[in-house]
Amino acid sequence: MKKRNVILCTLLAAAVLSACGEEPDSSRGRRPETGTEAPEGSGTKEEPETTGAPEEDPTPTPEANDPWVHVDNMEDFVEAIGPGARIRLETGSYSLSDYLKDAWNAEGEAWNNRHEYVQIRDVYDGWELVIWDADGLIIEGGDQDPGKTELLTDPRYASVLNYEHCEQVVVSNITIGHTDTGSCLGDVLHFYACKDVSVVNADLFGCGVYGINMDECEGRLKCNECVIHDCSFGPLYNIDSTGEWIFTDCKLINSEEGGYFSESRGLSLKFVNCEFGDQETDNFMYRNDTTTENCTWGDPNSNSYFGGMEYGLPEEFHPEDLTEVDIDPDFFDGTTWYGFAVTDEDTGATTEVENTLYFDENGTGYLDELYTFDLLEWQVDSAGGARIIIEDSGEEYPVYLYWGDGDSYYLKLVQDGQENWFY
């Protein structure tokens, strides 16, 4: 019995000594691969196995999730324009015309040749930006207060932003207008052959001829929480458009005229919770193609674009006593003539009118009649005769200058068998 115990002890001692000389098992001390987490505070931390370069964190950063292109200068703004682009113009005041001038002077037509969705267009007194085929484009100011982001242009003949052949475009949270007030031929926003336009939380101001000009457009114009004010000829212009225009919580105020909205087939206009100034009321309050809900109106007869001028035949106006005179080449430069009467050449019947004929210094101008606005060119020949050419139709009409009635000039425009008299 004692001998057996001695043998067992000897074998145990040999086993212990043999174990002390072995390499340790690399699995010892490792957390079991059962998904069980180590107790909190145990100090045990599992190290990931490495097989080369570390894996990238799959969680996207906030910048990667941001769908907007943030810009703070006009070059980046223009370069970002394209289909589906979401452009956020950071707060500040920006001169678009300064950038366009520099870009054109540096490259000229080469600039247009290398841009697919934007073009620089030369106008009489500067340049304007034209956006082409940019479906889904969104331009937004950098703050919910539209007054904190201003997009401005200097040339009066330039529209601030022109859109052509664009669909589903949005302009929001921004102030847009011209740096100078007064007579002009450019709009604030001009849309040609576009479809489905939204203008939201925007401040559109003159001297734009019109705040929003929709020319041959279709679909829906949605205008929410906007102020359109102080424009030369009114807040809105429509020609040959179809669809529906809906204005909600907007102000159309303080323009010098009421705007022009032709009653074209297939186009309706709706105002909800809107405020109208006096001239705007005069144009939109009684239209057959317009519906309104909960709107406030001004006095449609309280003021006049011509400073309260009384229209009608002057008391001592006698056409037969006037003397026709030759016209100097620069006589019409920068002059505005106010129409007061139309005489039928065949019957001699005379009716009162209210219209305007304006001659710019570069040989262009406009004829503004009730609900009709026509751009024109004018010429004076070597013999002292003059004519105007209507831009859209190409029709030409002679213009005659008369002297008489004390010390006044009178102008006669012969148009479609009628003598239109201006002074």
Residue 245 has a pLDDT of: 95
Domain ranges of the chain: 63-293, 319-422
Q: What are the CA-CA distances from residue 335 to residues 256, 271, 358 (Å)?
A: 18, 37, 6
| pLDDT higher at 374 or 173 | 173
Q: Looking at residues 137-155, what average pLDDT do you find? A: 97
Q: What is the mean pLDDT of the chain?
A: 81
Cβ 203 vs Cβ 170: under 8 Å: no
Show the beta-strand stretches assigned E in 154-193.
Answer: 161-164, 167-178, 189-192
| Distance from chain centroid for Cα 358 | 26
300-342 pLDDT per residue, tens: 754 433 333 333 445 556 777 888 988 988 888 878 888 888 8
Residue 405 has a pLDDT of: 58
Max CA-CA distance within the chain? 161
Pairing of strands 396-404, 386-390: antiparallel
Q: Looking at residues 41-59, what average pLDDT do you find? A: 45
Dist. CA 20–CA 99, nearest whole Å? 83
Residue type, 66: D
Domains 63-293 and 319-422 share a fold: no
| pLDDT higher at 220 or 3 | 220
Mean pLDDT check: name the lowest of 54-68, 119-133, 258-272.
Answer: 54-68
Q: How confident is the model at residue 264 (pLDDT cuts 50, 70, 90)?
A: low
Q: How confident is the model at residue 406 (pLDDT cuts 50, 70, 90)?
A: low
Give the rounded percent of residues in the chain with a pLDDT score beyond 70: 78
CATH code of domain 63-293: 2.160.20
Mean pLDDT check: name the lowest of 264-268, 377-381, 389-393.
Answer: 264-268
Going by C-alpha positions, the residue among 286, 245, 282 that lies closest to residue 266 is 245
Mean pLDDT check: name the lowest of 146-155, 176-185, 211-220.
Answer: 176-185
- State yes or no: pLDDT of 290 exceeds 60: yes
CATH code of domain 319-422: 2.40.128
- State yes or no: pLDDT of 46 exceeds 50: no
247 CB burial (10 A radius; 0-12, 13-18, 19+): buried
Residue 417 has a pLDDT of: 84
- State yes or no: pLDDT of 41 exceeds 80: no
Q: How confident is the model at residue 358 (pLDDT cuts 50, 70, 90)?
A: confident
